[in-house]
Amino acid sequence: MPEAASMPGTSRPGTSRPGTPSPGAAAEASLRPVPAFGGLAASSPDGRLVVREREGLGLATVTARRGRGGDLAEVLRASRGLVLRPGPTVSRAGDLALVGTGPETWFAVGAGGGWRFSRALAATLAGLAAVADQSSGYGVLRLSGPAVRAVLAKGVPVDLHPSAFAAGDAAVTLAGHVGIVLWRAEDRADGEEAFDVAVFRSYAESFRHWLFASAAEFGLADGPAPGPGTAGAVSRPA
């Protein structure tokens, strides 16, 4: 990411619209990805809540064509080794996760690739599903730590107790008035629970505000988050 801080007031570079495009470049022309939460990374002082944006993900919605849900599951199993679980749950295989968001509908998350992720998935599922790129449409935050459920409970009207929302469970619901896709991520290495939250990009600031207000009692403070891997990141989107 360019050092935006060192170039105040300048327009954003890297939008791949050079004055003299080289032949063949047009097919791959795309905007420079900008993380929806500005690369947000923050932690309460005692580490009871850790917030980190998952950047560079490939995101897509997948809706099975009528009557092709079974074939879709079979193709995913054969080509990606992914066993599709029914209902509001997460199915994972390697870097690919499919979050059940509705009947025959999923939110697909790839560890990388941006918009290219959906193109590859659409090719895999040709004729079986409608695949729509969402890579620049959503921001995804990873929330983890012993306080994470207490914080989410302030605005999410779903029972998140482990007995009701177990590892691998998912929900499309609300946080405050903001629509979210929420799912249990793999537990942290120290065994603490982790959740991923996908929010429409245009709601990123509203969600961030709600999150920090809800986590204030745990000392989650606004401001730049120093630390390895977060250099240049800002907590507040400009």
Partner 1 sequence: MRIACPFCGSRDLREFSFLGDAGAAGAGLPGAGPGAGPGAGAEAGADAGPGAGPDADAGARAEAVYLRDNPAGRHRGLWYHEAGCRSWLAVTRDTRTHAIFAVELAREGAR
The letter for the amino acid at 31 is: L
Please identify, using beta-carbon distances, which residue of 101 and 214 lies nearer to partner 1: 101
Please identify, using beta-carbon distances, which residue of 206 and 230 lies nearer to partner 1: 206
How, if at all, do strands 138-144 and 50-54 pair?
antiparallel
Residues 119, 128: contact at Cβ < 8 Å?
no
C-beta neighbour count of 29 within 10 angstroms:
11
CA 92 to chain centre: 15
Q: Minimum Å distance from CB 173 to partner 1?
A: 6
Q: Minimum Å distance from CB 11 to partner 1?
A: 37
Q: Minimum Å distance from CB 137 to partner 1?
A: 16
The letter for the amino acid at 205 is: E
Q: Minimum Å distance from CB 105 to partner 1?
A: 6
Please identify, using beta-carbon distances, which residue of 47 and 176 lies nearer to partner 1: 176
Report H helices in the chain: 69-80, 115-124, 148-152, 204-214
The helix/strand/coil state of 169 is strand
Q: Minimum Å distance from CB 102 to partner 1?
A: 4
Please identify, using beta-carbon distances, which residue of 51 and 129 lies nearer to partner 1: 129
Please identify, using beta-carbon distances, which residue of 107 and 117 lies nearer to partner 1: 107
Please identify, using beta-carbon distances, which residue of 57 and 156 lies nearer to partner 1: 156
Backbone angles phi, psi at 91, to 5 degrees: -110, 130
Q: Minimum Å distance from CB 198 to partner 1?
A: 14
Binding site for partner 1 (CB under 8 A): 63, 66-67, 87-88, 101-105, 157-159, 171-174, 179
Q: Which residues of 65-79 are buried (b: 16+ CB within 10 A; e: fewer)?
A: eeebbeebbebbeee
Compute the distance between CA of residue 234 and CA of residue 238 in angstroms, rounded to an integer.
8
C-beta neighbour count of 201 within 10 angstroms:
16
